[in-house]
Amino acid sequence: MPVAHRKKRNAPPAEKRPRNAKFQADLAPAEERALRALKQELQLRSNTDFLIDAVALFRWAVSERRAGRQIISETKNGERRVLVLPRLERVAPELELPWVEIDWTESQLADLARLASAPEPPPPTPALIRAMQGLPR
């Protein structure tokens, strides 16, 4: 008859190692081909290696945009292209718009108040029509 072994009651609990996270992605065929081509070009053996490098690159890009920097590629000729990725722009700091102070006269303020509170907008002036059409003054 086999002998049953019991754990010691006062034994310290075994240390639990954190488990590696599993990651699965549903890719369209074109995206899968692009992923395979990138892995081959970068000589990466596994999706894990690819994902580790991709996360490192994305973390760097997020920190750069969060600091207000642009991410730019530059050719040998000096031609530049700015990376614009909507997800990255979410972390970019708000733009500071230039401040302009206008010294309004009392009559100008009264005219502005009258125009802004009118039930219907006034008809465009000939100068505004020419400006909108791109015609010279």
**78: alpha, beta or left? (left if phi > 0; alpha if psi -120 to 50):** left
List, for residues 91-100, the tens digit of each pLDDT value.
888 766 567 8
Across the range 68-97, mean pLDDT stands at 88
Indicate the average pLDDT of the chain. Answer: 86
pTM over 0.85: no
C-beta separation of 39 from 50 below 8 A: yes
Radius of gyration over alpha carbons of the chain, in Å?
Answer: 32
C-beta separation of 71 from 83 below 8 A: yes
